[in-house]
Every structure is written in structure tokens, then in C-alpha cells.
Amino acid sequence: MSFLSTFLTRERLVQPQNTKLVTVTLGVAGGLWVAWGLIRRTIHTLHPAFLPGEPNPVLLATPFENITSRHEDDDLAHVEEYDVVIVGGGTAGCVLASRLSENPNLRVLLIEAGKSDLTLLHSRIPATCTELIHSAVDYGLKTVPETNMHNREMSWPRGKLLGGCSSINALIYHRCSSSDYNEWGLQGWAWKDLEPYFRKAENFMPSPAWPVDWSRHGKGGPWQIRYPSFTSPLLPAFITGCNGIGVSTVPDINHGQAGMVGVTRLQTFTDSESRRSSAATAYLTEDVCRRKNLKISVGMTVTRIITQSTADGKRVAKGVELASGPHTPIRYRVKASKDVIISCGAVHTPHLLKVSGIGPRDELTRHRIKVIKDLPGVGANLQDHLLIPMTVNTAKGTSINYVSKPLFGLKLLAEWLLCGTGLLGANCVEGAVWMRSHDDPEVVDKIEDLTSAAREPDMEIISIPGWFKDMGKTSATDRNVDQWTLGQIPLRPSSMGKITLADSSPFSPPVIHANYFSSESDRQISIWAFKKSCDIVKASGVFKSWELPKRADELNDDEILEFLKESANTCYHPSGTAKIGAESDSGVVDTNLSVYGVQNLRVCDVSVMPRILSGHTCAPIIAMAEKFANMLKGEYGSVEV
Ligand SMILES: Cc1cc2nc3c(=O)[nH]c(=O)nc-3n(C[C@H](O)[C@H](O)[C@H](O)COP(=O)(O)OP(=O)(O)OC[C@H]3O[C@@H](n4cnc5c(N)ncnc54)[C@H](O)[C@@H]3O)c2cc1C
Ligand SMILES: *[C@@H]1O[C@H](CO)[C@@H](O)[C@H](O)[C@H]1NC(C)=O
Ligand SMILES: *[C@@H]1O[C@H](CO)[C@@H](O)[C@H](O)[C@H]1NC(C)=O
């Protein structure tokens, strides 16, 4: 009360005239500031290289002088030349740029459509990653109405910033089953080929509270992997529940041996101060950015791959065309003497290939795109994981629902900033269990065995110690109630979708047909996992009542399926849309990641995986990019392991 009265008294002391003057001055200054911001943005959009000394959007990149020209024109004379041009500064792109530019004689350009991730607090704080979904750094894509999911247009978050999805994702470090890679049957991409690169990427920091076998992890790599310092009482409850239904505890699921089943605590990519270690923060450090032979261009979207015909009738990728946005008529060009590498992710890689004339002939012709190479596999073979949550009410003091109370949030922020500890440093997916439906005699005849080997899983269930619905975009109905969410992730779906074009514009959102739940087996395994989740909860010792859905353990299979269709979302792992494989088998690239029919054009990102993995895709693509960088160094004549 006394604070309030002081405030009121002070207010009255201000002379009315002065108030007016101050208001007018502030108003004019504010208006000018806003106007200048608008003018600057307009100039940037039209001509990013125009204002010298501006930090963005062409961060660290040379202005591409005298390379503006007309759209259809493929003239590359007088265009700035690099040896390698990497399109997409996402998860794979950052690794490639960093590793390739280790050779000082190789001129590398990395082009990213989004901006830097460094100033983005929600990206740095692990626990707030869901804030980035539907934000300015998310492409904000949606699927078409999914016929088996109540015709919902489902959100598909994709990171649009340096580090790509690794800068907005849930930070779960998982290498997936060794047999997943062996199942691909590809020369050079088996588990034994990739395992050294998982280690090379990694700097593993062990936790005294959860001892694991160090020797299986990497030390001294750029990517920081550790256990978060915070855990809730629901982690031990989850482990008890899983043990209670006969699943044993595995200290470290990233063990790389055959038989990746069991319940475990999850490792995350966070550094010693509990900040996110994204592909950008790990691989594009200040030292790397200072390299004279590496240029990083942000805020620039590649609109087309430029190819030319050689004398003997072959097609060769010669460079790319880029623009700062859809509204500027100005296009920039850049030349690549060795390779153009596409690392735009599973949605945008097929999109860019298609708008550049590389894809299924019918579709390209329909959109009046000149066919450079008829390649039916581009955009096909789309596979994704679902994440289907169920929520229960638990014993008092077990969950973290209280964090959304505003004052508590401030305390946590202070703790994270000052000490690098506490709940904000944790990704809030504490534990996970990997299971095999085929060990359950009751369902073997209903569910296809699509596991990558005997003893490998087809289901994962993650433990989130609070309310979690709609990808974390809705908050708890009651913050004072303790809640717990188990999210099932069917790992080996047989449903497949595709990425197609809306039109020929590189800026139009690609059309996503996820085609979830299109097979009976995919539906049956989710019903099975729903029942398993109920069993885990009941065996956990903290269960109080069902919340979402109510009466969960009394529902029949049809009712369960209805619930699953309503509450499922993507688990953000789209893969396979430019797969490694024979051209006759809808392959897009060969085992050297070279695009069929277009020389000097490579693809390296999640889209090259021919079959979706039994887990999370970030660590696998980092290892694959590490391996590919080394392959390229060999091709360019400077091998180093
Ligand atoms: C919300 C979310 C949570 C996830 N959680 C996890 C997790 O906990 N653990 C895990 O292992 N995996 C997780 N994943 C999946 C994982 O992050 C991705 O599979 C992986 O990062 C994809 O890497 P990428 O290199 O293929 O593509 P991306 O990282 O998406 O990179 C593509 C980049 O290309 C850029 N780009 C696209 N088109 C153009 C263009 N035309 N010109 C210039 N640049 C362009 C994009 O802006 C982007 O930066 C999650 C993903 C999301 C979205
Ligand atoms: C374009 O730039 C190159 C050097 O980057 C220069 O040699 C050339 O003369 C320039 N061309 C024109 C038309 O200005
Ligand atoms: C991949 O590249 C290597 C080395 O350049 C070459 O020996 C091999 O034949 C290539 N493989 C394919 C499938 O083209």
C-alpha cells in the first residue's frame, strides 16, 4: 500500500505541461525509430548487400557484387566462386561447413535461409524449446488434411535458423539401433562405418548420479552431450513402472550393441552451463567463423540450383541462385567449382530439387518447370514418427506443472543464468523405454514385424513430468495439480507419404502428405502401446487418476483409436525423401550422396536415410554429415581422420 501511495504522489508532482512535452518527444522519437526500422527492412529485402556494415542478413558473407541478373539467365561469368556451396545451414549443413573449411585451401560458402541462433534465448534454454514452435524461426508448415487422423491439418515444425532443427528440437541424444544402419545394406553407411563419427562429433560429460560406460562415448568432439542436472520424482517412478511390467533398466541406451530395448534416462545435447549445444553453437564457433576460407550467409534463401550441359551431354551443377525473400526481384548467384551440397532437410531438400527441375517428370511438367532430370524418388518415401501423449494425475509434489507460475519462472531463469543449473537446463523429456511388440504373444498376429532385427524395438514411450498436449502449446488446465505425460512414438511405421509442390515458386510452402495410420498394423501397435502406457503408470507407485483420456483403462480398442487420432502429432522426424538407393528403386542419391544424372550435386541431411530409424534423428544425421565431410575431403585430396 505504501509503495502504491508513493507512486501516486510522484505522479501528481509532474507538471501537466512537462508530461505533454515528454510524451510528444517520446512519441516522435519512437515513430522515427519504427520508421527507420521499416526502411531498413525494406532495403534489406530488396537489396541485402546495399547497407555496408549492417550485421544482418548477410552475416559474415561478402556481398555478391555484380551478380544480379535476370531470373532465367544461367550466366555465371563474373560471379563469385567457391569450391563448395552448402545450401541450408541446418544440422547437417553446419557440420559440413565446419569440417570442410578445416582445409584452408577449400573455399566454402554456407547459405542459410534463417538467421543466427545465438541471440535466441528460447533456443539457448533447453526447457523452453517448445516456445520456438510456431515462432518466427519455425517455417510453420502443415500437412494436408490427414484422412486417417480426423482430417486434421497437422503442424510440422521445421527450424529456420542457423543450426536448423538442432536449434529448436527437444535435445534428445540418441544414436538409434545399430541394426537400423545395417538394415539399409549400403556400402559405407553400416553401423561400423558410422560409429567412429558418433564419437568424433561427441564430447560426453558423465554424471556421477548416473554412471555409464564412458568408453562407448566420444571425448573432445565439438558437440556437448550430458545428463541434465535436474530430474523430477517422476523419473524414478517411470523406471519403477517399466520394471514393474517386466522391462529392465539399461544404464546407457547409446551402447551400440545389438538389442536396444529397455528403460533409461535420456542424454541431451547441452553444455556444462546447461545451454543448448546445437549444430551451430557446436560447429560454428567463433574460431571457425573467423576462417578466411569460410563464408556464412544468413537470411538468404536458395531459389534454384543452376546446372549446365557439358559438351558430351551431361548435366553438371555449377552454382545456385539466391534471394533475400519472395518479394524482391533481385536474385544473386554464386558459383561452385567442386560441389553444390543440398542440406535443406527432409521437407525442403526435395522441394528445392523439384523447383530446380530435378524430380518426377509428370509433376514438374504440371507446374511448367523445365525438367533437368526425371527422378521419381524426389519427395517420395516420406516416413515420420508420431508422438501420441496420454496424461494422468499423480501424487502431490511429483511433477513440474508448477513451473508455468510466472514468479517461479523468474526464479528458475535466475538460477539457470547464474549457476547453469535447475529445471530450465533440462529438456523435460527425462526418460524413455524402447519396447518390442513382438515379445508380446497377444499381439504378434496383429502387428507386422518391421523391426530392424530380432531383439530390436518397434515402440518408444517417453516420460514427460507434467502436462503435455498439442506439442507443448497448451498449458496445464490446473497448475496446482500434479500431472505426468507418457508419449508413445511408434518407431517402425509402414505408412509412407510424400512431399509435393504447390506451385513452381521456391517460396511457396511444400505440400506435405504424411499419410499417418494408413496401415492396420500401424494402428494396432499404437493401441497396444496405449495399453502398455496404462500398465506402466499403474505400476509406477505415483498414479492417482486418469486425465487425458479419462477412464483410460476402461476404453475399448475403437475408443482408444479415436483418442489416438485426435491427440497424435508429429514427433518431428520426417526422413527418406531423397533416399540413398538404386535409381531404379526410387533412389535419389548413390552411396557417395551424388544425385543421379547431375554431376557435382550432392545431398546430405535426413532425407537421404532410406528407412526411418528406431529413435531420434539428430545425432544420426550429425554422424552422417561428419562421415560425408571426411569422404569429400578424400575426394578433394586431403584425407584426415
Ligand atoms: C520440434 C522438434 C523436436 C525434435 N526433437 C528431437 C530430439 O529431441 N532429438 C533428435 O534426435 N531429433 C529431434 N528432432 C529431429 C531432428 O532435429 C531433425 O531430424 C534434424 O535436426 C534434421 O536435420 P537436417 O540437417 O536434415 O535438417 P535441418 O536441421 O532442418 O536443416 C535444414 C536447414 O536448411 C535451411 N533451408 C531450407 N531450405 C533452404 C533454402 N532453400 N535455402 C537456404 N536454406 C534453406 C533451413 O532453414 C534449415 O536451417 C526434432 C525436430 C523438431 C523440429
Ligand atoms: C565483376 O566482379 C569481378 C570481380 O569480382 C570483376 O573482375 C569484373 O570486372 C566485374 N564485372 C563487372 C561487369 O563489373
Ligand atoms: C564413390 O566415390 C569413390 C571415390 O571417389 C569411387 O571410388 C566410387 O566408385 C564411388 N561410388 C559410386 C557408387 O559412385
> What is the per-residue pLDDT for 505?
96
pLDDT band at 191 (very low <50, low <70, confident <90, very high): very high
**Domain contains 572:** no
Residues flanking ligand 3, CB < 6 Å: 590-592, 635
Q: Say how far apart CA 321 and CA 76 lie, in whole Å.
A: 10
> Is 90 exceeded by the pLDDT of residue 176?
yes
Nearest residue to 574 via CA among 90, 122, 247, 229: 90
**Domain contains 280:** no
Ligand 1 binding pocket mutation candidate from 572, 589, 608 (most atoms within 8 A of CB):
572
CB atoms near residue 105 (< 10 Å) = 9
**254 lies in the same domain as 300:** no
- The DSSP code sequence of 247-298 is PPB-S-STT-SS---EEEEPEE-B-TTS-B--HHHHHS-HHHHT-TTEEEEE
Q: Which residues contact 419 (CB under 8 A, 6 or more apart)?
A: none
CB atoms near residue 78 (< 10 Å) = 12
| Residue 337, phi then psi, degrees to nearest 5 | -80, -30
**307 lies in the same domain as 353:** yes
Choice between 373 and 406, residue whose per-residue pLDDT is larger: 373
**Domain contains 506:** no
Q: Is the distance from the beta carbon of residue 166 to the nearest atom of ligand 1 less than 6 Å?
A: yes
Ligand nearest to the CA of 334: 2
Please compute the mean of the pLDDT values over residues 350-358 and round it to a whole number: 98
Burial of 593 (0-12, 13-18, 19+ CB in 10 A): buried
**192 lies in the same domain as 248:** yes
Q: Is the distance from the beta carbon of residue 352 to the nearest atom of ligand 1 less than 6 Å?
A: yes
How many angstroms is it from 621 CA to the middle of ligand 1? 10
| Residue 473, phi then psi, degrees to nearest 5 | -90, -5
Ligand nearest to the CA of 591: 3
Query: Which of these is catalytic: 255, 348, 351, 616?
Result: 616
> What is the per-residue pLDDT for 39?
84
**209 lies in the same domain as 354:** no
User: Which residues are part of a known binding site for substrate?
Assistant: 428
How many angstroms is it from 580 CA to the middle of ligand 3? 14
Q: Is the distance from the beta carbon of residue 168 to the nearest atom of ligand 1 less than 6 Å?
A: yes
Nearest residue to 624 via CA among 338, 198, 224: 198
**411 lies in the same domain as 442:** yes
Q: Is the distance from the beta carbon of residue 606 to the nearest atom of ligand 1 less than 6 Å?
A: yes
> What is the per-residue pLDDT for 57?
34
Ligand 2 atom nearest to CA at 78 = 1
The type of residue at 456 is: E
Ligand nearest to the CA of 68: 2
Ligand 3 atom nearest to CA at 590 = 13
Q: Is the distance from the beta carbon of residue 462 to the nearest atom of ligand 1 less than 6 Å?
A: no
Domain count, the chain: 2
Q: Whose CA is nearest to atom 2 of ligand 2?
A: 78
Q: Is 616 a catalytic residue?
A: yes
- Among the residue ranges 108-112, 499-503, 611-615, the one predicted with the least confidence is 108-112
CB atoms near residue 636 (< 10 Å) = 16
Burial of 209 (0-12, 13-18, 19+ CB in 10 A): exposed
**423 lies in the same domain as 529:** yes
Q: Is the distance from the beta carbon of residue 78 to the nearest atom of ligand 2 less than 6 Å?
A: yes
Cell of 309: 550441359
Packed helices 557-567 and 520-538: angle between N→C axes, nearest 10 degrees: 100
**Domain contains 138:** no
**348 lies in the same domain as 390:** no
> What is the per-residue pLDDT for 202?
98
> What is the per-residue pLDDT for 595?
98
How many angstroms is it from 558 CA to the middle of ligand 3? 52
Q: Whose CA is nearest to atom 6 of ligand 2?
A: 78
Q: Say how far apart CA 46 and CA 332 lie, in whole Å.
A: 11
**180 lies in the same domain as 254:** yes
Q: Is the distance from the beta carbon of residue 75 to the nearest atom of ligand 2 less than 6 Å?
A: no
pLDDT band at 342 (very low <50, low <70, confident <90, very high): very high
Ligand 1 binding pocket mutation candidate from 87, 267, 344 (most atoms within 8 A of CB):
344
Q: How big is the CA angle at 205 (ends 204 and 210), to the nearest 5 degrees?
A: 110
Ligand nearest to the CA of 175: 1
The widest CA-to-CA distance across the chain, in whole angstroms, is 88
Ligand 2 atom nearest to CA at 66 = 1
User: Which residues are part of a known binding site for FAD?
Assistant: 302
Nearest residue to 238 via CA among 392, 431, 388, 397: 431
> Is 70 exceeded by the pLDDT of residue 445?
yes
- The DSSP code sequence of 107-166 is -EEEEESSB-STT-HHHHSGGGGGGGTTSTTB--EEEEEETTTTTEEEEE--B-BTTGGG
| Residue 153, phi then psi, degrees to nearest 5 | -90, 105
Q: Say how far apart CA 564 and CA 436 lie, in whole Å.
A: 20
Ligand 2 atom nearest to CA at 67 = 1
Q: Is the distance from the beta carbon of residue 111 to the nearest atom of ligand 1 less than 6 Å?
A: yes
From 536, 567, 598, give the residue that closes a domain: 567
Q: Say how far apart CA 164 and CA 132 lie, in whole Å.
A: 12
Q: Say how far apart CA 618 and CA 604 lie, in whole Å.
A: 13
**584 lies in the same domain as 561:** no
How many angstroms is it from 336 CA to the middle of ligand 2? 17
Q: 34-82, pLDDT tens digit by residue? A: 998 888 777 766 665 555 444 333 333 333 443 444 444 567 777 788 9
Ligand 3 atom nearest to CA at 635 = 5
Q: Is the distance from the beta carbon of residue 304 to the nearest atom of ligand 1 less than 6 Å?
A: no
Q: Say how far apart CA 473 and CA 557 lie, in whole Å.
A: 28
Ligand 2 atom nearest to CA at 80 = 5
**Domain contains 585:** yes
How many angstroms is it from 635 CA to the middle of ligand 3? 9
Q: Whose CA is nearest to atom 8 of ligand 3?
A: 592
- The DSSP code sequence of 361-385 is HHHHHHTTPPPSEE-TTTT-SBB--
Residue 561 bridge partners (DSSP): none
Q: How many CA atoms lie within 13 A of 397 on its CB side?
A: 0
Assign residue 630 the CATH number of its domain.
Answer: 3.50.50.60
**527 lies in the same domain as 624:** no
> Is 60 exceeded by the pLDDT of residue 109?
yes
Q: Say how far apart CA 133 and CA 167 lie, in whole Å.
A: 11
Q: Is the distance from the beta carbon of residue 65 to the nearest atom of ligand 2 less than 6 Å?
A: yes
Which strand (E) or helix (H) includes residue 419? helix 406-419
Please compute the mean of the pLDDT values over residues 21-25 and round it to a whole number: 91
**243 lies in the same domain as 311:** no
> Is 50 exceeded by the pLDDT of residue 325?
yes
Q: 491-548, pLDDT tens digit by residue? A: 999 999 999 999 999 999 999 999 999 999 999 999 999 999 999 999 999 999 999 9
- Look up the domain containing 265 and give its range: 172-275+386-490+517-567
How many angstroms is it from 185 CA to the middle of ligand 1? 25
Please compute the mean of the pLDDT values over residues 100-111 and round it to a whole number: 95
**Domain contains 46:** no
Q: Say how far apart CA 216 and CA 75 lie, in whole Å.
A: 51
Question: How do 431-435 and 358-359 pair as beta strands?
Answer: unpaired
How many angstroms is it from 600 CA to the middle of ligand 3? 13
**317 lies in the same domain as 362:** yes
Q: Is the distance from the beta carbon of residue 165 to the nearest atom of ligand 1 less than 6 Å?
A: yes
User: Which residues are part of a known binding site?
Assistant: 302, 428
**Domain contains 105:** yes
Assign residue 207 the CATH number of its domain.
Answer: 3.30.560.10
CA dihedral (115, 117, 118, 124) in degrees, to 10, reads 160
271: left (phi over 0), alpha (psi -120 to 50) or beta: beta
**Domain contains 137:** no
> What is the per-residue pLDDT for 500?
98
Q: Say how far apart CA 184 and CA 591 lie, in whole Å.
A: 11
Q: Whose CA is nearest to atom 13 of ligand 2?
A: 66
Q: Is the distance from the beta carbon of residue 66 to the nearest atom of ligand 2 less than 6 Å?
A: yes
CB atoms near residue 236 (< 10 Å) = 17
Q: 401-437, pLDDT tens digit by residue? A: 888 777 888 899 999 999 999 999 999 999 999 999 9
Ligand nearest to the CA of 85: 1
Burial of 17 (0-12, 13-18, 19+ CB in 10 A): exposed
The CA–CA distances, whole Å, from 629 to 140, 192, 220, 349, 579 equal: 30, 17, 18, 18, 18
Q: Say how far apart CA 372 and CA 396 lie, in whole Å.
A: 63
